[in-house]
């Protein structure tokens, strides 16, 4: 099996490499191709990889030729950042300067990121159609839900979006109940979803977990969002819902910190790249240190001052590379796996999330096997959950249309009607200022 990694110079590439080439990998990867437009970054990550165990018989190819990387691929894993971390910094700062949330995927920053990213991802999908028409695209490029939906007209059911936040949530719940979570109800969009039940032997365990303060203390999402609020909801929210439930506090915290998350990550990553280039024989050690520092301060704005790095050791475990390999293994071997994925909102019985359009992408439990990926039934979304899902999905679809139709007016509508903006004037200013800092958005006429 050939696996192609788009974004081969990405910071987390070693994790995918380890998962794909390990003797314990769930599927045999004979060839692993790395593609990146930056040969320097890819050379640095190649130094890291060279100091890891492996590749245990897997042939490795590094190239800046996209067609060469794609040709013959069975699966394509994509995690790119159009505009780099400097683009992320601009996404965050433009929004904050206008008094609204500046965050990578949630709110206006995420929309600006999508508007830069979708054209590049469409190009990737077109090249896949030409040279690897039977390959599946496993997309981790953010904002994962919007990007995946933009590609479904081209790739159909051969594109799937992944995220490691739901798997982390299920892992934490599993530790509490003492077994893997296999029966549950989760509904949402990428970075906007809720775990609403966890069944063991036909009994929902979630109410007891919500009543148990000791248990809630082991769930990062509950610590971030507050025990009292998750009890009010009767569900465990995805951690990114912090930005909706505590929007004012999040904006104030980011502004008071003196630096955005993007600025902090940019400083960390620049230090790593410079140090690894100067000391290639120490690349893996430097990468490990940088990775640990990055994970320890994840969502630091949601923690009290002085506690930005207070994460439990078990919360530092990643997971998206595991999800990616499990998808590939289930499709390639036929061994069924149930995962929470970003997929089109329909199965043989019609819509899965009944309040959303059938052709949109949702984040729901799915069955993955030799027949591909099938979303499983979920309970209807009601109340404020339904309201958030429908309003955010409408914004996502406006964003995709803005890109496809090259329309600044549609972009204005998307920004203005986002629940975290809710201002026609701010929406107009966001379009204008993002076009000023991102020349690649000049296509929005």
Residue 303's pLDDT is what?
Answer: 65
Q: Write out the chain's pLDDT in tens, 445 residues.
A: 999 999 999 999 999 999 999 999 999 999 999 999 999 999 999 999 999 999 999 999 999 999 999 999 999 999 999 999 999 999 999 999 999 999 999 999 999 999 999 999 999 999 999 999 999 999 999 999 999 999 999 999 999 999 999 999 999 999 999 999 999 999 999 999 999 999 999 999 999 999 999 999 999 999 999 999 999 999 999 999 999 999 999 999 999 998 999 999 999 999 999 999 999 999 999 999 999 888 877 777 776 655 544 556 555 555 889 999 999 999 999 999 999 999 999 999 999 999 999 999 999 999 999 999 999 999 999 999 999 999 999 999 999 999 999 999 999 999 999 999 999 999 999 999 999 999 999 999 8
Report d(CA 361, CA 333) in Å as an integer.
Answer: 26
Element (H, E) at 48: helix 39-50
Phi-psi category of residue 412: left, alpha or beta, with phi > 0 → left and psi -120 to 50 → alpha: alpha
Q: DSSP letters of 262-302?
A: HHHHHHHHHHHHHHHHH-GGGHHHHHHHHHHHHHHTTTGGG
CA 269 to each of CA 105, 146, 252, 375: distance values in angstroms, whole numbers, following the listed order: 19, 26, 25, 37
Residue 302's pLDDT is what?
Answer: 76
Collapsed DSSP state (helix, strand, coil) of residue 33: strand
Q: DSSP letters of 392-423?
A: HHHHHHHHHHHHHHT-HHHHHHHHHHSTTT--
Residue 305's pLDDT is what?
Answer: 54
Collapsed DSSP state (helix, strand, coil) of residue 150: helix
What is the token pair recorded at 198?
Answer: 């966890």
Domain edges within the chain? 166-245, 247-313
What is the token pair recorded at 55?
Answer: 């590749």
CA 215 to each of CA 21, 56, 169, 303, 323: distance values in angstroms, whole numbers, following the listed order: 36, 41, 13, 19, 25
Give the residue carrying structure tokens 């600025």. 263
Contacts of 70 (CB under 8 A, 6+ apart): 4, 33, 35, 76, 127, 128, 131, 132, 135
Contacts of 168 (CB under 8 A, 6+ apart): 220, 315, 317, 319
Give the residue carrying structure tokens 């060469």. 68
Residue 414's pLDDT is what?
Answer: 98
Report d(CA 140, CA 147) in Å as an integer.
Answer: 9
Based on its alpha-carbon atoms, the radius of gyration of the chain, rounded to whole angstroms, reads 21
What is the token pair recorded at 144?
Answer: 């994962």
């Amino acid at each position: 099996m050939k696996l192609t990694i788009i974004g081969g110079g990405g910071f987390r590439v070693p994790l995918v490499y380890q998962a794909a080439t390990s003797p314990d990998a769930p599927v045999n990867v004979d060839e692993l191709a790395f593609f990146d437009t930056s040969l320097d970054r890819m050379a640095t990550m190649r130094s890291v990889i060279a100091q890891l165990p492996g590749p245990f018989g897997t042939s490795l190819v590094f190239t800046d030729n996209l067609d060469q990387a794609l040709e013959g691929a069975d699966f394509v894993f994509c995690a790119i950042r159009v505009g780099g971390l400097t683009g992320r910094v601009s996404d965050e700062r433009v929004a904050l300067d206008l008094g609204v949330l500046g965050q990578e995927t949630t709110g206006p920053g995420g929309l600006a990121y999508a508007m830069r990213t979708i054209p590049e991802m469409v190009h990737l999908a077109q090249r896949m159609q030409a040279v690897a028409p039977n390959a599946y695209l496993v997309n981790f490029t953010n904002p994962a839900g919007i990007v995946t939906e933009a590609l479904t007209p081209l790739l159909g059911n051969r594109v799937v979006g992944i995220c490691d936040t739901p798997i982390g949530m299920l892992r934490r719940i599993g530790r509490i109940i003492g077994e893997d979570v296999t029966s549950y109800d989760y509904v949402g969009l990428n970075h906007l979803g809720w775990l609403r039940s966890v069944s063991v032997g036909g009994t929902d365990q979630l109410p007891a977990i919500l009543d148990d303060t000791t248990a809630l203390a082991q769930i990062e999402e509950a610590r971030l969002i507050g025990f009292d609020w998750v009890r009010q909801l009767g569900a465990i929210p995805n951690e990114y819902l912090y930005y909706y439930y505590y929007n004012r506090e999040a904006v104030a915290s980011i502004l008071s910190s003196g630096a955005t998350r993007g600025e902090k990550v940019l400083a960390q990553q620049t230090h790593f790249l410079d140090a690894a280039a100067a000391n290639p024989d120490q690349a893996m050690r430097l990468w490990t240190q940088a990775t640990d520092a990055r994970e320890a301060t994840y969502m630091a704005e949601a923690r009290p001052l002085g506690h930005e790095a207070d994460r439990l050791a078990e919360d530092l475990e990643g997971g998206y590379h595991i999800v990616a390999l499990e998808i590939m293994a289930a499709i390639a071997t036929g061994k069924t796996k149930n995962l929470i994925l970003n997929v089109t909102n329909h199965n043989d019985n019609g819509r899965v999330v009944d309040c959303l359009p059938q052709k949109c992408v949702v984040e729901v439990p799915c069955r993955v096997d030799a027949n591909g990926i099938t979303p499983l039934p979920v309970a209807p979304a009601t109340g404020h959950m339904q309201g958030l899902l429908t309003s955010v999905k409408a914004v996502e679809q406006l964003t995709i249309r803005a890109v496809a139709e090259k329309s600044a007016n549609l972009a204005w509508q998307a920004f203005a009607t986002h629940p975290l903006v809710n201002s026609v004037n701010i929406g107009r200013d966001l379009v204008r200022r993002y076009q000023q800092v991102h020349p690649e958005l000049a296509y929005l006429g």
